[in-house]
Amino acid sequence: MNTTFLKKDLQDLESSGIYRALKTVDSPQGRQITLEGKRVLNFCSNDYLGLANDARIKAAAIEAVKEHGFGSGASRSICGNMAPHEKLEADLAQFKNTESALVYSSGYMANTGIIPALMDRRSVVLSDKLNHASIIDGTILSRAKLVRYPHADMQALEEILKYLPVTQRKLIVTDTVFSMDGDRAPLKEIVDMARRYEATVMVDEAHAFGVLGKHGSGLVEELGLEWQVDVQMGTLSKAAGCFGAYVCGTKVLRDFLINKSRSFIYTTAMPPALAQAARTALQIIRQGDQLRFNLQENTDHLRARLGMMGFDTMNSSTPIIPILVKDPVQAVAMSKQLLQKGIFVHAIRPPTVPMGTSRLRLTVTVTHTQEDLEQLLNAMKGL
């Protein structure tokens, strides 16, 4: 293989400040991790509730390995549909207050499996400009027309909807918490508009699940919209500290996806121990009022202090706190400076975020102590 053009592209990425290199973590996840042999404070992970290394979840996984083995052997529709998968789906449906739930192997696979099953080349998908890449990829796979409306701009969304034929199949899809901006979607307005223009609504609760809502089930719960959002997708890989994803909705939706969703059908079922571990995570989330209260306190405190120091934290209202830098090279330099001071904060650059909006993306977890936050703020002073 001639790699000349690969090398040229890599050099271009490097000189534009958007080259990605992997760093090795040699410890469990937590507020402190061992990164390339050095202990650092971790402000990058989506482990908002500190469950990625939780003893109860680990014990559940180990017990389940003993009882069910490790591999699942086949896809769900052949012989890989094991009791823990069904039990997890029953738990999720109850928790999300929906008729049913279906589990996917990852959030990426859920979005690239749900959208193409529901939409076809005659359909239109209306997608917030800042939606996760997996939503865009799912839409491209569906062959539907992709219309990206400006971020959270309800007037722009209505202008598009107005001109679409009533009979055309339409899906409005939005992250509920935007993964790089940490703000909430205007979901109530989206749902109202969907009703007026006969569109289906799909949400991605990846960063809201476990964090928002009275019982931690997400923004849909926080706003009391359980019966108005048709397709509720979310991940088990962030606040739940596990891996995998779910979609909640009607029984018909579940049945349809089992029959039509290619990333569900043509892949081996998730390991049963993972499903069992996720059931334990769900129990912890259900009883996690105190965790969420403490997380909110950490988040409010950090955001307020960063604001006082003059940093632009954009419209964040969740534990994802962006610090707008704009220039990708500068964002990387700031991240490196922080790392030298023992603090791990990732620089986010295009194409993950739009050009000119490179940023540091801080994530706060419930496990961060006041001293951790002070250490971070002190290090930020020098930037």
Ligand X SMILES: Cc1ncc(COP(=O)(O)O)c(C=O)c1O
Catalytic residue numbers, as ranges:
179, 207, 238
- Among all chains, which residue has been given the structure tokens 């490790």? 70
Cα separations in angstroms, 179 against 63, 107, 133, 336, 343:
33, 13, 10, 22, 21
User: How near is the Cβ of 98 to ligand X at its closest, in Å?
Assistant: 19
User: How near is the Cβ of 226 to ligand X at its closest, in Å?
Assistant: 20
Residue 70 tokens, joined: 């490790």
Residue 238 tokens, joined: 């962030």
Question: What are the residues binding ligand X (CB under 6 A)?
Answer: 106-108, 111, 132, 134, 175, 179, 204, 206-207, 235, 237, 245
- The count of residues in the chain is 383
User: How near is the Cβ of 279 to ligand X at its closest, in Å?
Assistant: 17
Task: Please enumerate in sequence order all residues whose Cβ is within 8 A of that of 160, keeping only pairs 6 or more positions apart, or say none.
Answer: 126, 147, 149
How many CB atoms are closer than 10 A to CB 381? 7
Residues 217, 157: Cα–Cα separation, whole Å: 26
3-state SS assignment for residue 249: strand
User: How near is the Cβ of 261 to ligand X at its closest, in Å?
Assistant: 15
User: How near is the Cβ of 107 to ligand X at its closest, in Å?
Assistant: 2
Residues 144, 116: Cα–Cα separation, whole Å: 8
- Among all chains, which residue has been given the structure tokens 């650092």? 40
CA 207 to chain centre: 4
Residue 340 tokens, joined: 């030298």
Residue 376 tokens, joined: 């971070």
Could you say which DSSP state residue 181 is in?
A: T
Q: Which residue is nearest to ligand X (CB)?
A: 107
